[in-house]
Amino acid sequence: MITEIRNDADLDKEFIDKKGFVLLELGASWCRPCQVMAPAFKGVEEEFKGEVRLCHIDVDEAEDLAARFAPEGIPTFIFYKDGKELGRIIGYRQKNKFFEDIAKMMK
């Protein structure tokens, strides 16, 4: 399940004092690379057997909130463990490479 982050309250609920892995996507509905990456993003839960929670911020609907993450482009995927950023994946990746990059950050 992908949790939509629309405001500070949503962000606090998903990140403050939360343990475990979170993959946050910054994207937009009109963004073609975001659309192409959508199946891989959704597939993270199954690939990693529920170990990774998925969150999404629409950069148009929550512009100020998204800006705090300083995305260099979209889609930007930010990987967290216990609320600390471990790394970023920016732009399109083939599904297997996307999963490989996430697995490396989990180690």
pTM: 0.95
Which residues participate in catalysis according to the annotation?
Answer: 31, 34
Render pLDDT for 27-36 as a digit per residue (tens, 0 to 9).
999 999 999 9
Please provide the average confidence, as pLDDT, over all residues in the chain. 96
H/E run at residue 8 = helix 8-15
**Secondary structure letter of residue 87 according to DSSP:** E
Q: Where are the domains of the chain?
A: 2-106
State how far the Cα of 76 lies from the Cα of 84, in Å rounded to an integer. 16
The SS3 assignment for 94 reads coil
Q: 27-80, pLDDT tens digit by residue?
A: 999 999 999 999 999 999 999 999 999 999 999 999 999 999 999 999 999 999
CATH number of 2-106: 3.40.30.10
User: Which phi-psi region, left, alpha or beta, contains residue 25 (left: φ > 0; alpha: ψ -120 to 50)?
Assistant: beta
